[in-house]
Amino acid sequence: MTGLLGALAAAWFAASAAGEPSVVPLDVGAPARATAVRSGERLHILYELRLTNFAPRPVTLEGLEALDPAGRSLAAFDAAALTGMVAHRGPSPAEGAELVVPPGGFVVVFLDVQTSAGRAPSKLVHRIRVRGASPDAPASRTMVEAGAVAVAGAPLRLGPPLKGAGWLAANALSNESDHRRTLAVVDGHARISQRYAIDFVQLDARGRPFRGDPARNESWTGYGADVLAVADGTVAAVRDDLPDNVPGAAPAVPVSLATIGGNHVVLDVGGGARVFYGHLRPGGVKVRPGQKVRRGEVLGSLGNSGQSDAPHLHIHVSDGTTALGGEGLAYAFDGMSVRGYVPSLAVLERPEGWTGAAAARPRPASGELPGANAVVDFAP
């Protein structure tokens, strides 16, 4: 953020360092732990805060700051920034009321606290500023410090899920992607299985996602590519009976919790972590439930089944065995290089694709997670 915003944040939050206990009527719910994941030159710590209003009147958010254990500011967000980070559940707020927490209601704040690549903080704590009833309201009524989150700096290390060059990481690591914001209630728990999910679409050597008729699955560069086990593990679940969709058309079968991921394999890699591989080609799954597999073994082939509009591999790691019924876990890939970044996913709709492919130069990136719109190569 700019120096001006940083100065404003410092002024906002300094007053809460001493004085009376806060009586701001927000209950701040935070996860017990988050994980720092490297992408390029930054560490990303993705997590959510749930702010519940216990007052009979609305509470309006004005700022939020994330601090390390020494009280140093790692990230400060003013009202303008928070507007894009706060989500309401239930009725959408009126325009201009995005930061209003209704009486008895709650909002979810999606955070991506970033630091330079290096050692992650061991813990984060949050200072939240709300609008006072009057301009001279004391800090005890406008500031609350809460929501401690322990930070782990070692994501699960995995091998390549695919092989070869030109894999576009669509909807990947970001605080704004659809995957990041998919908060689903399954079996009585609201969770984000796809917090770190990626949709891999292959581009050819000239940066093209397809050649010929894009309405044919076979025209797409990655269609039928081998999908690989990212670690030794046990196959926890399989589905292989759904048809491929026609690219660009509605799904061939109604979308439900059972079909959203299409044909899929779930691989239990130990420690409570399960890798979900989605949208596989019908008849292409090579494994069965209970089977032991080795890292690099072929599990199936890339397809276009389930909630998918073009051939790609959806992959994420969670503690569940269904597409949405788990808590998303952080991971990183070995054997990966970053070739570059496409300007937008519009390249997937154009026959010429990514015109910057020829000039791209891969950068070794083992131990990282691709950021949104990165184009990566995996070791053969």
Q: Is pLDDT of 20 > 90?
A: no
Question: What band does 153 get if pLDDT is binned at 50, 70 and 90?
Answer: confident
Average the pLDDT over 223-242 and give the result. 98
Determine if the pTM surpasses 0.85: yes
- The pLDDT assigned to 261 comes to 98
> 3-state secondary structure string, the chain?
CCHHHHHHHHHHHHHHHCCCCCCCCEEEECCCEEEEEEECCEEEEEEEEEEEECCCCCEEEEEEEEECCCCCEEEEEEHHHHHCCEEECCCCCCCCCCCEECCCCEEEEEEEEEEECCCCCCEEEEEEEECCCCCCCCHHHCEEEEEEEEEECCCEEECCCCCEEEEEEECCECCCCCCCCCCEEECCEEECCCCCCEEEEECCCCCCCECCCCCCHHHECCCCCEEECCCCEEEEEEECCCCCCCCCCCCCCCCCCCCCCCEEEEEEEECCEEEEEEEECCCCCCCCCCCEECCCCEEEEEECCCCCCCCEEEEEEECCCCCCCCCECCEEECCEEEEEECCCHHHHHCCCCCCCCCCCCCEECCCECCECCEEEEECC
Q: Is pLDDT of 10 > 60?
A: no
Domain 157-378 has CATH 2.70.70.10: yes
- The pLDDT assigned to 8 comes to 42
Average the pLDDT over 265-293 and give the result. 98
- The pLDDT assigned to 341 comes to 96
- The pLDDT assigned to 17 comes to 44
CATH class of the domain defined by 3-154: mainly beta
Question: What band does 358 get if pLDDT is binned at 50, 70 and 90?
Answer: confident
Q: Is pLDDT of 324 > 50?
A: yes
Q: Is pLDDT of 271 > 70?
A: yes
Domain boundaries, the chain: 3-154, 157-378
Q: Is pLDDT of 148 > 60?
A: yes
